[in-house]
Structures are given as structure tokens and as C-alpha cells.
Structure 1
Amino acid sequence: DEVSVCCPTDESTDKTVSFSRVSAVATEWMFDYFFVSLCRCFKERKRDEFNEMLSVFEVISENESLKGTTIHEKTLICALLVRVIDGKCLDELFDKDRSIMPLMSAAKVWLELKDTVSDESLFKSITNHLLIQSVAVCLEKGQTISATCSIEWFKKHVDIPRSLARNLSTIVQKKETYHSLFNNFSLNRLMETIQTFLDSYLKKHPSDYLLKAATKVAQSAPEIQSSEEAEPQDDTFSKSSRTSVQKKKRRKRNLLSTLTDVWTPEPVAEPFVCIRRLSKHELSQMTSPAKFAETSTAPMKRRKWTSKLDKFLEQGVRRHGVGKWAQILNDYDFEGRTSMMLKDRWRVLIKSHQVG
């Protein structure tokens, strides 16, 4: 179970290393590759691609050879990103406590990452931003009680300015869904601020070894076309791809759990923080399996596009332009729909002459 490796020395001597060691190094490179890819998808607002990468990242991250503080930090960062991306989807669950919404859960993970943030003002800015958007999303969906609960949860678990909490409570009482505070601290701006943190972290912890190696290979073989260049994008393929992605999206995913140190060998009784989304089945097994058994067989109803959602879509196109589906998705609550679904709906509205 050993591999012979030629060391890059003047004497060109041979050394043998165990295959498990070689495998561990390769696994860490793949882990870093998917970590960087997830950061890129987050930056470019490619939610569908992000979710596809996420499932692979989860499998790799469970490898026992991956240990150390940096691995733990990168895993938590991905946990933060998926919660922020799903910030407006209140039906997405990451904790067994159903009252904890995605952005509240993101705040829990963000606290775990405090030591990785060198700029204290940036840490506080993102913390406050998560609170503001958590309240904004609830008001946008008409859930004033949830908005109030969100403020109380942050006051209890997170160090936030009292003045900000009071201001938000007043906004909730008056039901000012479109208050200027929410416009100044939008979800898009939150993602841009988090991107500042990501850029700083990646600069301090380079994770692009595999990407650089792949770039050299690609540059040395320019005649090899990428799959996007080689294969025509016909309508049939696009539709089947969209169908496949939508089916995958219906299955909730879990991403790693780690409020405690996942590499501690002793058994841990404390609850984990889930990076991936919890499915109803998993959640029911944590809480009440018997109750879930009674309801799990009920078929899911396909949600229809309402006039309100069509209005959101039309307003988004006017603001950002056709094709900016990811940006439009972040500005409004489309009840869990993807950017591809927005694109398809826009085509339907155009064909039916409902929009100009």
C-alpha cells in the first residue's frame, strides 16, 4: 500500500510514501477546489450552480483525513454562504428549532467565524446586517410576529446595538415593509459585504492549488474545447437540464454540522450546526418521527405564479434588465423559486403579451 514518489531534489532520490497520505493530500486539494468554487458561485449569484457544488462539497468534507482549524473554518464559511443565499426562503430549515430562520442561523455560524475576521468593524457590520435583513424578510412576507421574534432572538444570542433593536421594533410595529433602512441594508449589499470578508480570507488562506494546476494543463492543450464550447445549447437540452435541476432542488440537502469541533474524537452530546438544509424527514427524526409518518405521504402541491409574483418579476426587470435573474431574485421574495424559474416565467409573460 505504498507509492513511489520522485522528490524534486538535485540527487533525484526516490522516496516512498503511503497511499493514504497521498490520498489525504489529493482530498484536501479537492476540498479546496470546491470551497473556492462555492465562493465564486456566491460572488456571481449563481444559486443553482452553488447548490450543485454544495452536495459534492458535503461528501468530500466528511472524509476523515480532513482535519485542522482551516478545514473547519472553510466548512463553516460554506455554511454561512448557503444560509445567506437562502435568506429569503423562510421554509428552508438548517436547525431542528423550526423558529430559527436562515439568516438567524447564518448569525449563529458567523459568531463561530469571529476569530477569522481581522477587521472588527466588518464583523459588526455583517452581524447587524444579518439582523436587519432577517427582520426585513419577515415583514416582506407579512410575518410581523416572526419579525419581532427575530429581534428578540438576536438580542438574546448576539451582541447588537440596543438603538438598532429599538429602531427595528418600531419599524415592525408600524409595519413599514419598505423602510429606508431595509433599502440601505439590502440582501444584495449583505452579500457584497460578505464578499469583502471572503476576498480577505482567500488572500490569507490560498485555496487554488488545484485550479492553478488545471489552468496549466488547459493552457498546454488549447485544442481541447470546454463542454460549453463543444456542445450546442439546444432547447431540448436546456429544458431537460432545467427539469433535472428543479427535481434536485425539491430535495432538501444537509451540509455539515459543526457548532462543536467535528474532529474531536470524543462523542459530543451538544447539537450540531447544520451547513446543509434539513429535509422534513431529517427534522422529524430529530423531533417527532411518529408525527412525520402521518404526514410524509401527502403529495406536495405545485405552487402557481400569482399576480403579485408577476409584478415583482416585472419590477425587477425594469430595475436590473432582462437576464439579471439572480439580482432580481435577491430583491424580492419569490417563495423559493430559482433564477432559472424566473427566466422561464418571463418568457411565458412575453409570449402571452402580459408584459411589453
Structure 2
Amino acid sequence: MAEDASSTALSPRGCADGKDADPAEELKAERRKDDQEQFECQEQLECKMQVGTLEEEEEEEEEGSPGAVAAGWMLDFLCLSLCRAFCDGRCEDFRRTRDSAEDAQFESDERITPLESALMIWASIDKKHDKLHEDIQNLIKIQAIAVCMENGNFKEAEEVFERIFDEPNSDTPLKRKLLMIISKKDTFHSIFQHFSYSHMMEKIKSYVNSVLNEKSSTFLMKAATKVVESKRTRTATTQDNSNDTEMETEANVDIGKRFVWVWEEDNNLRSGVKKYGEGNWSKILLHYKFNNRTSVMLKDRWRTMKKLHLASSDSKD
């Protein structure tokens, strides 16, 4: 009986044959539904709270975390290195530094050509609205169409044209010119020769150089420069100290040689004391020959000679 009751239990939505569900079962199902909804709401609320906490932590990290600040310095340095490698034509260094920062990403839409993607990125970095930036933007537009036409893809050139000049009020001389060229399929038009790919690259290099001149004093580069200069200073100081030590050693040797008392000087000192008396050092120095001695040196030497019993005079200090 229990098995039959279990097998014939009605679902909350009623039986498959269209019979209504048991009222008691409906009530239980409704409660289970309410409990489930309440549980899901609670989960969503907790999830939002966790996300909010994480966002606050990320904001705090961006504002005050040393790690975030250091990461910003490193990213600035990588961007600076990219610009320099690009301007110097060091392709391998450019690729290596680029891969260190992040992989190049183009649009997920396969119809978007690389130059169109570059045009979108270029438009996003326009802050000063200067003429050089505008010139480069027009050059990218011209080259985006030129590449398609050079490959014989005139239909693609039309599509690229429609995408890059999608604003209805953007009726410019460049737009009219390119539209005419595409309609005539004039692949070798002079505009493509004058505003060539190499011309575009030179303009971009000029722009990047201006950025380098403006941003060349990034903190990480400043800090690295200080470290290098400090090492050079320490090396130079060490070399100077080494040279000074060598000079001092040589000078001390010379001084030692110069101030060593020889037998003739000791004999002259004994004779002087015997003739003029102890204490008359200036008179002794004047009348006897000594090797660059002073009165004080004579006095000190006489004291030493008496201690060593080298003085023949019985005079005292």
C-alpha cells in the first residue's frame, strides 16, 4: 500500500491526465517554492555584498596599495619601452616587450580589418585633438581602403569605407575623394602614392616621439636612473679613494725617508748642543746642516737620543 501511495503521489502541477493536484501537496510545493526563492534571494544578496566588498577592496588597492602603484609603474615602463622600440625600428624588442605587457587583440568581428581595429584604438587615445593626431587618423583611413584595393577586394573596400565613414554628417573632402576612387576602382590613384603606408608610419613615429618627450621622466625610469648614477658615483668614489690611498702610501714612504735621522744629523745635533747648549734649537738649526728639520724636530730628536743614551751631553730638558 505504501508503495502504491508513493507511486501514485500527485505532482504539484497535477497529473499527466489533467487531474488537479492534491491541495495539501500544492501547499507543500508552494512552501518549497517560497523557501527556494528566499534561498536564491539570500544567495544573490550575499553575492552582491561580496562583489561590493571586492570592488571596495580593489578600489582601496588602486588608491593605496604599494603593489598597485608598482604595477602601474611597470606598465608605464613597458609602454615607454614599446614606444622607444617602435621609434628605433627594433622589431624584435618591440614584440618581446609587447608580449610582456599583453597580447595584441583585434576585433572579434572577422569583417573588421587590422587597420580598422587600429583606427578604433587610435580614436580612443585622442585627448588633445591636435593636428598630428588627426592627420594620422586620416592616413589610417586611407590605408585601410588602399590595402583592400591593392588586393583587388573592391567590395571589401566599399564595406570598410561604409564602416569608417558611418556618421551621416561626416561629408568631408576626404570622404568624397575616397568614395570617387572606390567607385572608379582606381587602385593607383595619386592619393595612395602621396599618403603612403611609409608616410603613415613616419607620422606615427613623430607622434610617439612627442609622447616620449612628454612622458620620458616616468617614476620607474627616474628611479632606475638614480640607481645607475648612484652606482657610478660609488665606483668613481672607490677609485678615487684607491688612488688617494696609493698617493698617501707613496707620500708616507717619502715622508718616512725624508724624516729618518741619519748619523750626520745626530752628530751635528750633539755638536750643536755641546756648543750652544740644550734649548737653543734655532741657533743650532742655523749653524749646522740638517735635512729639512725644524726646531721642534731637533728638540724631539734630542729627547729621543737621551732616552736611547745616544747623547754625549748631560744636559736636561
> TM-score range, shorter-chain basis?
0.3 to 0.5
Identify the structure with the greater helix proportion.
2
Task: Give 1 or 2 for the bigger CA radius of gyration.
Answer: 2
Q: TM-score, normalization: structure 2?
A: 0.47
